[in-house]
Structure 1
Amino acid sequence: MTPDLVLFDCDGVLVDSEPVTNALLVENLAARGLQVSHDRVIDLLVGGTIAGVAKTARGLGATLEDNWVDLIYAEMFARLATEVTAIPGAIESLDALDAAGIPYAVCSNGPHAKMEITLTRCGIASRLAGRIYSCEDVPNPKPAPDVYLKAAADAGIAPANCAVVEDSPSGARAGKAAGMRTLGFTADTDPTRLTPICDDVFDDMRALPGLLGLTSK
């Protein structure tokens, strides 16, 4: 069934920011007494919040400044502003949705300030104006469904008629809790982590228009 609204996660779905932020976190936490592997950082970060990373890292023995969240965001924004790129196929998927007249929005656990940097650098921000949602806009972050339900309500579209595109178990659970068809993007995520949660999984964003029932151009 072709949805009436498509809701995208941001990091790892539209913008390829996670390699940049993951590498930064490995370096930053090592300097603060916590040696973590790239895979462990993915478990800590993907689909969560930086405040959640701070809490977990402190519990594992990292010595973090009281304002570490602000510090790491400042470093992250500086790197993303020069290094982030769009996920291959993301722009084409948005083009296909535009051609089909299907609206879309972004729903992220990240802050608006971060999305302004990444989406602007990737040339996506202007086409999403007024349709960019953050956990800052709702009471609870993913895996709660709040951000997805707000985007659907603002668009006046029933959750059952929406599709969610996610790359993390936390985000996928949010989509399902919202009562929406949830598609798991597995290019950089172990499919076994998303398959039990999602309605479908796929590993190439160029396949998304077909999964949504859109006619190929």
Structure 2
Amino acid sequence: MTRAALVIFDCDGVVVDSERPTLAFLRDELAAHGLDLTVAQVTEMFIGGTMQGVFEEARRRGASLPDGWVESYYRRLYALLAEEVEPVPGIETVLDALEAAGVPFAIGSNGRAEKMVVTLGRTGLAPRFEGRAFSAQDPAHPERKPKPAPDIYLWIAQSLGVAPDQAVVVEDSPTGARAAKAAGMRCYGFTRETPQKRMEGIADVLFEDMADLPELLDLT
């Protein structure tokens, strides 16, 4: 395989280990408003999407979420993550290998930029993604659709001057993997927290240990 000219990471669950506390918090929130799901069900329904999408689907399923819930949820979630989120084990080694090989990298997230400020700041990774952490919820560009649309990945490639077919995406959700494929990018599916069967047939390569990624990307 030809070495990628750009590697784009999803943020939550790929760069920062935020999925478990976020999903548990979301499960508790929905249960408090009448939609009692397991963490596994919450993961199946909502991982990789936007909170507005969660709000609309949860209401459709009977949750009594009040108007303004999304903003309230974000404020309380940010406070939680600021206290306990950590880097995904092995991600710093991957970033070191990319830097040593001269391969640029970026983040493309469905989450808000404010959330990345919290999580990347807490984990100490913010300097490594300075100017290269992109959000699909950029208020300056409401025309851009979130994943599974390819918009954010095409935007990143264009911003960094790389052809889409020369970029690689690292994703942990079917939603994100579909976005990568729609953008014409090769997708590496990270299955540390996501059941492998959910990524099969979507991602090009599956792996569950971030320590394996440098070799998969031909960086070693």
Structure 2 length normalisation: TM-score?
Answer: 0.96
Give the counterpart letter for 1:152 in structure 2.
A
Cα distance in 1 for partners of 2:35, 2:16 equals 28
Cα distance in 2 for partners of 1:141, 1:12 equals 17
Within 5 Å, which residues of 2 pair with 1:176-191?
176-191=181-196
Cα distance in 2 for partners of 1:37, 1:207 equals 31
Cα distance in 2 for partners of 1:29, 1:197 equals 29
Cα distance in 2 for partners of 1:123, 1:178 equals 30
State yes or no: 1:194 paired with 2:199.
yes
User: Cα deviations across residues 94-128 of structure 1 (Å, max 9, x unaligned)?
Assistant: 01101111100000000000000001111111111
Cα distance in 2 for partners of 1:190, 1:30 equals 24
* Secondary structure of 2:169 counterpart: strand
Gaps of at least 5 residues in structure 2 are none
Partner residue in 1 for 2:73: 72
State yes or no: 1:105 paired with 2:106.
yes
Query: Per-residue deviation at 1:26?
Result: 1.3
RMSD of aligned C-alpha atoms?
0.8
Within 5 Å, which residues of 2 pair with 1:34-49?
34-49=35-50
Cα distance in 1 for partners of 2:198, 2:32 equals 30
Partner residue in 1 for 2:124: 123
User: Cα deviations across residues 158-200 of structure 1 (Å, max 9, x unaligned)?
Assistant: 0111000000000000001110111000001111111201110
Partner residue in 2 for 1:63: 64
Partner residue in 2 for 1:20: 21
Query: Per-residue deviation at 1:45?
Result: 2.3
Query: Per-residue deviation at 1:29?
Result: 1.1
Within 5 Å, which residues of 2 pair with 1:110-189?
110-137=111-138, 138=141, 139-189=144-194
Gaps of at least 5 residues in structure 1 are none
Give the counterpart letter for 1:63 in structure 2.
S
Give the counterpart letter for 2:213 in structure 1.
L
Cα distance in 2 for partners of 1:56, 1:112 equals 23
Report the identity percentage.
Answer: 51
Query: Per-residue deviation at 1:44?
Result: 2.6
Give the counterpart letter for 1:60 in structure 2.
R
Q: 1:208 aligns with which of 206, 209, 213?
A: 213
Cα distance in 2 for partners of 1:44, 1:16 equals 19
State yes or no: 1:8 paired with 2:9.
yes
Structure 1 length normalisation: TM-score?
Answer: 0.97
Partner residue in 2 for 1:90: 91
